[in-house]
């Protein structure tokens, strides 16, 4: 029996999961804020980090949310091939996002900023690393969703899996919106 009439059980569970994820990232951001406010020195992030490149990456993640939501709209209209096209586009853009983040990490490590030699480094790698991990998990589930769509698991009448995939992906986008502002702009 559904304890929440009018709300799908899986969607209800996904929103609860996202609520717990929000608090997980809030704890990390809280630690970052505390360490930044109390640290005797903090690097000039506009000089240390490649802000234009990350701004481009931020735009890519926003675009991936558009492709994800159009994928959901496509299957709502019963358009299977469009769903697959948009899901593949979302997965590809997500992969490019993670790749650019890997390039940024490599540049920073090359400049001697590591997780162990500065407070900034440890908080930066933990925050962006956990977010990147969430994007990677999202890409894995996107691949699974694409695979399932090829097997005909989604239709105009039943596409709950695509909706759950979209909720997770957009949540990861929201987390990045705040991380971009807090780490790179402030």
Partner 1 sequence: MSEHSATENHRPNYLLIFGALFVLTLIEIGIALTGIAASAQVVILLALAFTKALLVALYYMHLKFEGPIIRIIAAVPVLLVLIVILIPIFDVWIFG
- At residue 154, the 3 state secondary structure works out as coil
Longest dimension (CA), the chain: 58
Considering the rule CB under 8 A, would residue 23 count as an interface residue with partner 1? Answer: yes
Q: Quick one: which of 88, 28, 106, 94 has its CA closest to 62?
A: 94
Give the list of residues 6+ apart from residue 59 with CB closer than 8 angstroms, or none: none
84, 97, 180, 183: which one binds partner 1 (CB under 8 A): 180
Please, what is the end-to-end C-alpha distance for the chain in angstroms?
48
* x-marked contacts with partner 1 along 44-83 as a string, rule CB under 8 A: --x----x---x--xx--xx-xx-xxx-xx--x-------
Contact stretch for partner 1 (CB under 8 A) within 11-19, 100-108, 124-132, 143-151: 11-19
- Report residue 44 as tokens: 């000039």
Give the interface with partner 1 as residue ranges (CB under 8 A). Answer: 4, 6-12, 15-16, 18-20, 22-23, 25-27, 29-31, 33-34, 37-38, 46, 51, 55, 58-59, 62-63, 65-66, 68-70, 72-73, 76, 157-160, 163, 166-167, 170-171, 173-174, 177-178, 180-182, 184-186
């Amino acid at each position: 029996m559904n304890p929440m009439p009018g709300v799908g059980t899986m969607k209800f569970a996904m929103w609860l999961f996202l609520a717990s994820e929000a608090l997980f990232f809030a704890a990390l951001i809280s630690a970052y804020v505390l360490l930044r406010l109390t640290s005797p020195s903090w690097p000039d992030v506009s000089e240390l980090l490649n802000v234009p490149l990350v701004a481009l990456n931020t735009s890519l993640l926003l675009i991936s949310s558009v492709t994800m939501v159009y994928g959901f709209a496509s299957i709502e209209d019963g358009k299977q091939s469009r769903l697959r096209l948009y899901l593949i586009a979302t997965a590809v853009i997500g992969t490019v996002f993670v790749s650019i983040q890997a390039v940024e990490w490599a540049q920073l490590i090359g400049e001697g900023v590591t997780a162990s030699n500065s407070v900034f480094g440890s908080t930066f790698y933990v925050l962006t690393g956990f977010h990147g991990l969430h994007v990677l998990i999202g890409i894995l589930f996107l691949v699974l969703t694409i695979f399932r769509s090829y097997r005909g698991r989604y239709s105009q009448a039943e596409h709950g899996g695509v909706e759950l995939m979209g909720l997770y992906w957009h949540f990861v986008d929201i987390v990045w919106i705040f991380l971009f502002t807090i780490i790179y702009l402030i």
